[in-house]
Amino acid sequence: MTNHNTSPYSHLLLLAAVLALVSVASAFGPTSRLDLQKIMREERNYMQKKVIDISHKYVPDLPAYDSKSGLGNFIKLKTSIKLGDLYNFSVFKLTTHSGTHVDAPGHFNETLFELGYDVVSLHLQTLNGPVLVVDTPRNKNITAEVMRSLNIPRGVKRVLFRTSNTDRRLMYKKEFDSSYSAFTSDGAEYLAQNTDIKLVGVDYLSVAISPKDELLKVHQHLLNSKDIIPVEGLNLNDAVPGVYTIHCLPLRLVHGDGSPTRCILFQ
């Protein structure tokens, strides 16, 4: 008796079923050979990249805006192994603008703050991506004239400005120094109107020079745009001018007008 069910196609059907099962198994099962090769390749690429940490360490002597005494003792053990507790467990208290940090659009503007422009609203796409590190003229603040001379092309969205603050090691001096270099109001206006820069990094505690009227105007020019993010208090000691990839991740502090942030550069 011949089996008429065994058509030439039944073998192909069986083969297709087996292949489908194998591919399902590899999609949900242990890593396939192909995935592993991809991971190893990515790993080799990653290991070749230099990582530069551009955040400052939080230490008691880190300067704080307008303060003589720095951060002070901002962290305390609540339970301690030495005192017989099961674990060490600490509480820390810092302002939202401590050390390396970002400003939210609502930082100087009550309307924006009430509309929800806190640090949670900041775009991760702006905080992460290609970045240009530039040196500024050491004898000047970042004025419109300096911005013009830097000639940063349209299309550049992230720039870190390395100033005399880095040479003067101001972030390593406990006492706040109001003579730091930063943006003047016409420099900030120029940036907002004539460039595509959305991430503005600086190497001391404020993006604006210290006189009060300038402090306000600079922040208004940048923050009222709602999409320009100042990153302040960066550690640019090891970031020589050039092109990098930046990663900045502030905390998701609801109602935060600012937040400490870890920032790193990939070369």
Residues in touch with ligand NAG (CB under 6 A): 77, 80-82, 88, 109, 111-112, 139-141, 164, 179, 181, 209-211, 220, 224
Residue with smaller CB distance to ligand NAG, 43 or 227: 227
Nearest to ligand NAG of 109, 261 (CB atom) = 109
- Cα separation, 182 vs 188, in Å, equals 10
Q: Considering the complex, what minimum distance in angstroms separates the CB of residue 47 from ligand NAG?
A: 30
Nearer to ligand NAG, 146 or 199 (CB): 146
SS3 193: helix
Residue 195 Cβ vs ligand NAG, minimum distance, rounded to whole Å: 20
Minimum CB separation of residue 139 from ligand NAG in Å reads 5
User: Do you know the residue count of the chain?
Assistant: 267
The C-alpha angle 205, 211, 217, rounded to 5 degrees, equals 85
Q: Which is nearer to ligand NAG, 47 or 114 (CB)?
A: 114
Shortest separation between residue 53's beta carbon and ligand NAG, angstroms? 22
CA distances from 36 to 27, 32, 165, 248 (A): 13, 6, 46, 29
CA dihedral 170, 137, 219, 231 (to 10 degrees): -60
- Residue with the two structure tokens 């940036």: 191
Question: What is the nearest approach in angstroms of ligand NAG to the Cβ of residue 87?
Answer: 8
Q: Is the Cβ of residue 217 or residue 247 nearer to ligand NAG in the bound state?
A: 217
| Residues in a beta bridge with 162 | 135
Indicate the residue among 146 and 231 with the shorter CB distance to ligand NAG: 146
DSSP-derived 3-state class of residue 230: strand
Question: Which CA distances in Å does 37 have to 24, 32, 101?
Answer: 19, 9, 38
Query: Shortest gap between Cβ of 21 and ligand NAG (angstroms)?
Result: 50
Question: What's the CA gap between 264 and 267, in Å, rounded?
Answer: 10
